[in-house]
Structure 1
Amino acid sequence: MTAFTKSALLRATYLTMLAGVVAPAASAQTAAEPATAVRTTNAETGAGAEAETDGSTDIIVTGSARRQRRFDVSYAINSLGQDDVKRLAPLNFADLLGKLPGIQVEATGGEVQNVTRIRGIPTDDGYAVFQQDGLPLFHDINGNFFRGDSLNRFDLMTERVEVVRGGPAPIFASQAAAIVNNITVTGTETTRGKVQLTAGTTDLYRLDAMQSGPLGERTYYAIGGFLRRDGGQRDNGFPNDRGGQIRANIKHDLDNGSVRLSVNYLNDHNTFYLPIPVADPRNPSVSLNRYIDFFHGTLNSPAFRGVTLKYRDAAGVTQSETRDLADGRHMEYGNVGLQYDGEFGGWQLAVRGGYTKGRLNFDALYSTSNPRDANAFAGDFRAAANTAFGTAANPVARLGYAIAGTNGATAYDPYADSGLVVPAQYRGVGSSFYSGQGDVSVTRKFETGIGSHDVRVGAYASAYGLTNKAVYQDYLMEVRGQPRTLDLLAYDANGKVLGSVTDKGVLRYGTTLNQGDVDSTVYSLYANDTWEVLPGLRIDGGIRHEWYHIEGYGLTTAQDGVNLGDSATLADNAVRTFDGARQSRKDNPTALNWTVGANYDVTDNFGGYVRASHLEVPPQSSSYYNINPVLVKTQADQYEAGLKASFGRNYLYLTGFYTKFDPFNASFVAFNPKTGRNDQAVPFIGQAEVKGVEVDGTLAPVRWFFVSGSFTYQDPQYKNLANSSGADPSAVNGNQIIREPKVFGNVRPTFSFDAGGDTVEVYGRYEYTGRRFVDLLNKTRLPAYNTFGLGATLTHDGFQFQVVGDNIFQNKGLTEGNPRIDQFDGQTSADAIYGRPIFGRSVRFIVSKAW
């Protein structure tokens, strides 16, 4: 840890302690309301007779000064307990969030690091802050090739997940347009536990377990986690996901509150799926499914189990790293947390603290250029090969393909297969990270002559940082699932190999080389007041001010790279090399967020609300170790209005929303197929505008049947973009934002009945995602798609047996195109021919026992 890091962490800890010292103290009265309140809901506990969370008796804590019914708050929030998740049966955390209104996800990258967009917010994270018991595990929304779902994993130790969309999120969390709060199990006087075994057709085997109960006088424990091995939704030819997590906590009740110590440890490998070619670029009506299966195929391959990445260091020494694609995204971290709740003469004091330290090693095969006709691809290298390997007496007569590493002994004829070849980029990334964070708040309710005020004032601080080292290089492959790497060889007229464009499948060594470090601190003050003017009418407002200090550096590289000197190949002719210099920067951005809302409940079952919020998000700290980054503080104004109705097991929430980002950074860096580098900057700064409506509801006409669902209609558009490099933004303004649908939603019917004393539930799921575009110009479509899922649960003698089927009719759909190269003007076809497909049919079997 650097001296700056130590100093920053001490300052953050000091601020947290200081806030606790100056909090008012008085004689103890009644116990405080803990932030990890036990869920109170009439949702089913296995009997199957009740509908999903009805919205009136759910008790929520996220985004609120104190615990409230979901129906009573003036913002959109969902609370998902274990029974809700059982029916939704998500494949991963993003898939779970995608069942909620207003949240569109691309859950096809694997178990983690998936795309989550909240109400059309045009980022891959939707400015959704993931929390555990009210605090983030890492302060920034994104780390270095990881985000919230990489750190937060759902298992039996997750009591419930509360998701705030918009509303007061900018006040109760940093950088947040939304909050995903994972509330963990806390022990009580009642001993309870559960063990769950899952097996699936993807060679999935998973064990979940949880146990909680009393540990001593007024002391309670909870412990649980998971172990899992999964062959994966796509056939890599090597193990896919493997690892697990353990979480535990001890809580002690005091005379006036409670204190809780928690720990968790994650060590997990997850394979990352990238786009695949699905149609022939020479004739987009011709499917490539016979070569690479739409549902199970991938460019991941055992050929990348032992790759060697090369680059040149600042001393001029060639360095190499051996990597294994099967390692995938290897995330390992530990976290310790401390929570205190106390009540002092009507003042509620809440103190939260946590420290996370971990490391990430990331190996993945990224899509780059689209597949090309093999002869046309070879033709691009003919002149360079002749210059390097030919002579006047013995010129290069032709270029030909061979299986990599055989020096031409095993020739490969592309036209005996698809006639295509495809390059891809191996990315090897290493990062270590830390994040210490603390939050102290006091809450007090005051009675006045005109209603009451419930005031919360708090301070938050964090010291956090991470390192980065990234080496990329390009490979050449055949077009098929689990492809073999290829060499492109230069032959003379007698068939003798004169040299090789590639080197054992490597098309270009060291195409990207980055290394750097960043350390940051943030201090925040926030306040919120809920004014109950009269019964049923509440007005609330809040403000949050944040001060950041960010120090980072990145090592610079020679512009054109260097030739490593192997005259037998072109692959090492332009390898990135550190030049001995570094680019350092310091920054002190600030953010001022606010919200104001009004809620009026006509009755206990019908009401409405309106709200306005302002969000400011400074650049992510990881930007500060990049070379010449585009640093823009994003600002957004959010408005929403909602109607809510709850009658028994029936409920309906209808919310209209409008968000305007100004400024909005739509810049991106594209892959340059001529150099193999990600160095084509396309800067677009302007505005983004999203307006829409979301619906969340359940209809339960009879005891044995109910149907739940969510629906979102939105219109996400780019507005007033400007380009500093001469591109004309007029063809972009007014277009639909990349990969954002206008319509998406789901319908989930459930039937329940008794069978000889046992309880049986049968449930279905229909999901729809509307048309999207891969590019700013809206030239290439991602067609609309839908999927069907089925499940059934049998509860017998304390055991529960469940079977779940996903995409049972093998419907096809793409969640993205090839964003390395098509973000500006699309692909060569009206519909995407290179993209990341949804997963095919799979079935899971789950057996659990609770006590």
Structure 2
Amino acid sequence: MTSHSLKLTRMASLVSLAVFHMGSALAQEAAGTASSDKEKNSLNLNSVIVTGTPIGTSKMKASVSISSLDADQISQSAPTNAAEILRAVPGVRAESSGGEGNANLTVRGVPISAGGARYVQFQEDGLPVLLFGDIAFATPDMYLRADGSLSHLEVVRGGTASTMATNAPGGIINFISKNGKEKGGSIGITKGLDFNQTRFDFDYGAALSPKTRMFIAGFYRNGDSSRPAGVTAEDGGQLRANITHELDNGYIRLSVKHLDDKTPMNMPVPVRTVNGSISEMTGIDPRTASFYSPYWTRDIALDKNNNKVSTNVNDGLHAVSNAFGAEASLNVGNGWTLDEKFRKSTNTGRFISIFPADNANNSSGMTYATGPNAGKAYSGPAFTATVFNTSLDDLGSTSNDVRLSRAFELAEGKLATTVGYFTSIQNVALTWNFNQYLMQASGDKPALLNSAATVAGSPGLLAQGTDVWGGCCNRAIDAQYKTNALYTNLGWEKGDWNVDASLRYDKQNASGTYNQAVKQTYIQANTKFINYDVNHTSYSVGVNYRLNKDLALFARTSDGIAFNADRIMFGNPLDGSTPISTNIVKQNEAGVKWKNGDFSSFVTLFQAKTSESNFEATTQKFSSNTYDAKGLEVEASYKIGAFRMTGGLTYTNASITAAADKSIIGKTPRRQAKYVYQIAPTYTMGDAVFGASLIGTSKSFGDDGNTLTLGGFNVLNAFANYQLTERLQASISINNLLNTLGYTEVEGDGHAARSINGRSIRATLKYSF
């Protein structure tokens, strides 16, 4: 039986399990009806949030900026991956143009200087997916999929993120799972209408006994992706489940997750840049171009044991994650509450993508090396395709967070005390291998080419491993980071006042090795050792005052750290003999929360000062910069009858205040737009719901020298749902309805840039029971 058949068989078994329980579930109300009492007409300012707070509290009482999105709100923006969901959150800059992972993400003017999400922590149910957000070729969103298991999303910007999590001074993004409280479930099928994709989803929650309930959900998909490459680029899925037992004094919960998914990685494509302005090249549409192709040969990579490994370029990102979690919340007596979260994860896979080392040029003497025209003369444009082939050997982690809380009566008010202890072991083991090929400059099933410069007997091969980019990028990394963090929070509430202060002491021990191959070989004598300790004390102090039940003012100051992992390797020694670089963010914010009937708003003034050290893989450059960003963040919602509108606006004025390169001081940090905005209207008409979202950005610069311009653009998404019967729903969603071209990044010399995806249309049929 083929791998494809095995996956289909597993999915069929899971769907059968859901259908088996359908008979007893039909008597229950359709899934989702329990959410009808939510504040659908507001920003849920009175709802209790759990992210970034030591104990659950309402938004109106908390002195932090936090957004929450439920499943209905998420569907409005027609996201195609987990990171695209975050486009709808004010203050968050989510560059999700890379596909199902490798997103660049930050908040409120904190810089994106090399990729990933250095200052923001992705969480699932309150624990980190990966402890570091900016590991090269291994970002947390690669191991995260949004499916029917997602209850809602909570996003904290700034504030207590510095003290409530490690490596999260910019914010926390917490994907919170369903746990079976809402009985019933659904099964659904989604088809791509203008591209080849089929996806099956299911979720089901039920009571196993009066005090025990379960939940299970998953998906499986197969297809070409929205950037057709002529190959099966998407293949895989996820299964998540949990079981909860209620106790007289709390609850305990066990959970499991299995992710095995292959998806393409979208990299920058060759472009022309004239006077700082980017233009596309003939035959390469940045919205749809894919250099995955049926005409690739196997890419031979070097593993860390000096073995040759044959890999399939078209596998793209192959992410495999298996996790077991345990959670408990217990009243242990005398008013004390113990909260415990534990997760053990194994994360492995491979990252393969095609990066253009130059933009296309015409040259003579080339022939097709692969494809139906193999051996024939080729006279068109060609470019050097660098295959980023990285083995994700071990990104497994063990995390535990335990906290003890109690509220005391004090001075006619209430003093809430929390003390917690977080521990983590994060492995960072990767093996890089970059080979270069001569490739036809076409965004549609390109072939490899031969020329006088290619290696005889190896179709299209120009350079291998240590012959690429000065031998920089055959790297073997095998590191481990042990983190222990003690934190405490004091929160005092009296009348309309809420005041809180928190401290977090992080201590991290790093150990392991890293090596750089020479002449296609890892030489053991060249091994560099990692052996150092770093620590930092973070703080956050905030105050919130409610003028009345619908109007509150708040202010906060905080200091937090993001530790480095692989980004500082291959530079200064990491054996403890020299100081270890870290990244510090200091923030101030003040704002107002206001609810008036069917109108809600959340307005925040902010300032963020960032000091960081960095290494960028594609430029091979180290940097040490400081940044200052000031701005305004607005989130609002309004409802009138069947019409609802939510939206947000973020204004940011950021500059580089210090740098080793004096020429960039005073410049605007790369990819930092002054304005980012979101507008999402919906209208309900009988059994139909229509919605759209407009997500826009003003222009920004593609480099710190401000010589390259990324033009501003708007992306319009739309959806329509129709309730065919009480339990059967049909829907259609369109991502990038107007097929907008919008660049999110450009290489420093302007030869390549990455755009958002073009238009994609999906139709779904869903049955709820």
Q: What TM-score results when the alignment is normalised by the length of structure 2? A: 0.88
Structure 1 position 644 matched with structure 2 position 593 = yes
Structure 1 position 655 matched with structure 2 position 617 = no
Q: Equivalent residue of 1:619, what SS?
A: coil
Q: Equivalent residue of 1:440, what SS?
A: strand
Structure 2 counterpart of 1:65: 54
Which one has more relative contact order, counting CA pairs under 8 Å at least 6 apart?
Answer: 2
Structure 2 counterpart of 1:714: 652
Structure 1 counterpart of 2:556: 611
Q: Equivalent residue of 2:766, what SS?
A: strand
Alignment of 1:419-498 (within 5 A): 420-430=381-391, 431-481=393-443, 482-489=445-452
- Between structure 1 and structure 2, the one with the greater Rg is 1
| 1:464 to 1:428, Cα distance in 2 relative to 1, 3 A | same
Query: Does the 8 A contact of 2:567 with 2:614 survive in 1?
Result: no
Alignment of 1:796-811 (within 5 A): 796-811=725-740
Structure 2 counterpart of 1:94: 83
Structure 1 position 690 matched with structure 2 position 678 = no
Q: Whole-Å Cα distance in 2 between the matches of residues 141 and 284 of structure 1?
A: 31
TM-aligned CA deviation for residue 697 of structure 1: 0.5
Q: Whole-Å Cα distance in 2 between the matches of residues 435 and 214 of structure 1?
A: 31
Q: Whole-Å Cα distance in 2 between the matches of residues 304 and 64 of structure 1?
A: 50
Q: Whole-Å Cα distance in 2 between the matches of residues 182 and 401 of structure 1?
A: 50
Structure 2 counterpart of 1:571: none
Structure 1 counterpart of 2:22: none
Alignment of 1:378-777 (within 5 A): 400-404=365-369, 410-414=375-379, 417=380, 420-430=381-391, 431-481=393-443, 482-489=445-452, 503-510=458-465, 511=468, 512-532=473-493, 534-558=494-518, 561=519, 575=520, 578=523, 580-620=525-565, 623=568, 631-662=580-611, 664-671=612-619, 681-700=620-639, 702-722=640-660, 729-754=661-686, 759-777=687-705
Structure 1 counterpart of 2:23: none
Letter in 2 for 1:766: L
Q: Whole-Å Cα distance in 2 between the matches of residues 230 and 644 of structure 1?
A: 45
Give a deviation string over 1:107-139, Cα, whole Å, max 9, x none. 111122211121122133151111121112333
Q: Whole-Å Cα distance in 2 between the matches of residues 183 and 507 of structure 1?
A: 47
Letter in 2 for 1:668: E
Give a deviation string over 1:746-794, Cα, whole Å, max 9, x none. 111212122xxxx211112222111122212111111111122222111
Q: Which runs of 5+ in 2 are unaligned?
A: 1-31
Letter in 2 for 1:746: Q
Q: Whole-Å Cα distance in 2 between the matches of residues 49 and 174 of structure 1?
A: 32
Query: Does the 8 A contact of 2:54 with 2:164 survive in 1?
Result: no
Structure 2 counterpart of 1:214: 207
Query: Does the 8 A contact of 2:316 with 2:351 survive in 1?
Result: yes
Q: Whole-Å Cα distance in 2 between the matches of residues 455 and 327 of structure 1?
A: 50
Query: Does the 8 A contact of 2:567 with 2:616 survive in 1?
Result: no
Give a deviation string over 1:12-34, Cα, whole Å, max 9, x none. xxxxxxxxxxxxxxxxxxxxxxx
Q: Equivalent residue of 1:588, what SS?
A: strand
| 1:487 to 1:719, Cα distance in 2 relative to 1, 3 A | same
Give a deviation string over 1:156-194, Cα, whole Å, max 9, x none. 111111111111011111011211111111123x63212
| 1:647 to 1:502, Cα distance in 2 relative to 1, 3 A | farther
Query: Does the 8 A contact of 1:49 with 1:703 survive in 2?
Result: no
Q: Whole-Å Cα distance in 2 between the matches of residues 218 and 310 of structure 1?
A: 54
Structure 1 position 239 matched with structure 2 position 232 = yes
Q: Whole-Å Cα distance in 1 between the matches of residues 213 and 38 of structure 2?
A: 31
Query: Does the 8 A contact of 1:488 with 1:501 survive in 2?
Result: no
Q: Whole-Å Cα distance in 1 between the matches of residues 217 and 735 of structure 2?
A: 27
Structure 1 counterpart of 2:190: 198
Structure 1 counterpart of 2:14: none
TM-aligned CA deviation for residue 348 of structure 1: 0.8
TM-aligned CA deviation for residue 596 of structure 1: 0.2
Q: Whole-Å Cα distance in 1 between the matches of residues 449 and 301 of structure 2?
A: 17
Give a deviation string over 1:518-564, Cα, whole Å, max 9, x none. 122111100011111x3111111000001111102112433xx3xxx
| 1:66 to 1:427, Cα distance in 2 relative to 1, 3 A | same
Q: Which runs of 5+ in 1 are unaligned?
A: 1-42, 376-399, 491-498, 562-574, 672-680, 723-728, 828-832
Query: Does the 8 A contact of 2:427 with 2:480 survive in 1?
Result: yes
Query: Does the 8 A contact of 1:53 with 1:79 survive in 2?
Result: no
Q: Equivalent residue of 2:232, what SS?
A: coil
TM-aligned CA deviation for residue 341 of structure 1: 0.9
Q: Whole-Å Cα distance in 1 between the matches of residues 258 and 637 of structure 2?
A: 37
Q: Whole-Å Cα distance in 1 between the matches of residues 279 and 425 of structure 2?
A: 54
Query: Does the 8 A contact of 1:528 with 1:542 survive in 2?
Result: yes
Q: How many residues align?
A: 718
TM-aligned CA deviation for residue 711 of structure 1: 0.8
Give a deviation string over 1:626-683, Cα, whole Å, max 9, x none. 8868951111101111111112332011111110013x22543445xxxxxxxxx433
Letter in 2 for 1:426: V
Letter in 2 for 1:260: R
TM-aligned CA deviation for residue 838 of structure 1: 1.6
| 1:622 to 1:634, Cα distance in 2 relative to 1, 3 A | closer
Query: Does the 8 A contact of 2:429 with 2:477 survive in 1?
Result: yes
Q: Whole-Å Cα distance in 1 between the matches of residues 606 and 517 of structure 2?
A: 45
Query: Does the 8 A contact of 1:158 with 1:183 survive in 2?
Result: yes
Cα RMSD (Å): 2.7
Give a deviation string over 1:447-470, Cα, whole Å, max 9, x none. 112522111111111122132212
| 1:77 to 1:311, Cα distance in 2 relative to 1, 3 A | closer
Q: Whole-Å Cα distance in 2 between the matches of residues 51 and 346 of structure 1?
A: 34
| 1:484 to 1:816, Cα distance in 2 relative to 1, 3 A | same
| 1:761 to 1:550, Cα distance in 2 relative to 1, 3 A | same
| 1:217 to 1:46, Cα distance in 2 relative to 1, 3 A | closer
Structure 2 counterpart of 1:387: none
Structure 1 counterpart of 2:7: none
TM-aligned CA deviation for residue 358 of structure 1: 2.6
TM-aligned CA deviation for residue 837 of structure 1: 1.7
Alignment of 1:294-373 (within 5 A): 294-309=286-301, 319-343=307-331, 344-373=333-362
TM-aligned CA deviation for residue 223 of structure 1: 0.9
| 1:328 to 1:615, Cα distance in 2 relative to 1, 3 A | same
Q: Whole-Å Cα distance in 2 between the matches of residues 214 and 312 of structure 1?
A: 49
| 1:313 to 1:333, Cα distance in 2 relative to 1, 3 A | closer
Query: Does the 8 A contact of 2:277 with 2:708 survive in 1?
Result: no
Q: Equivalent residue of 2:83, what SS?
A: helix
Q: Whole-Å Cα distance in 2 between the matches of residues 596 and 308 of structure 1?
A: 54
Q: Whole-Å Cα distance in 1 between the matches of residues 601 and 460 of structure 2?
A: 57
Q: Whole-Å Cα distance in 2 between the matches of residues 618 and 684 of structure 1?
A: 16
Letter in 2 for 1:199: K
Query: Does the 8 A contact of 2:205 with 2:213 survive in 1?
Result: yes
Q: Whole-Å Cα distance in 1 between the matches of residues 330 and 277 of structure 2?
A: 65
Query: Does the 8 A contact of 1:144 with 1:466 survive in 2?
Result: no
Letter in 1 for 2:314: A
Structure 1 counterpart of 2:721: 793
TM-aligned CA deviation for residue 410 of structure 1: 2.8
Letter in 2 for 1:478: Q
Q: Equivalent residue of 1:589, what SS?
A: strand
Query: Does the 8 A contact of 1:225 with 1:246 survive in 2?
Result: yes
Give a deviation string over 1:425-449, Cα, whole Å, max 9, x none. 1122212232111111111111112
TM-aligned CA deviation for residue 576 of structure 1: 5.9
Structure 1 counterpart of 2:25: none
| 1:716 to 1:305, Cα distance in 2 relative to 1, 3 A | farther
| 1:281 to 1:720, Cα distance in 2 relative to 1, 3 A | closer
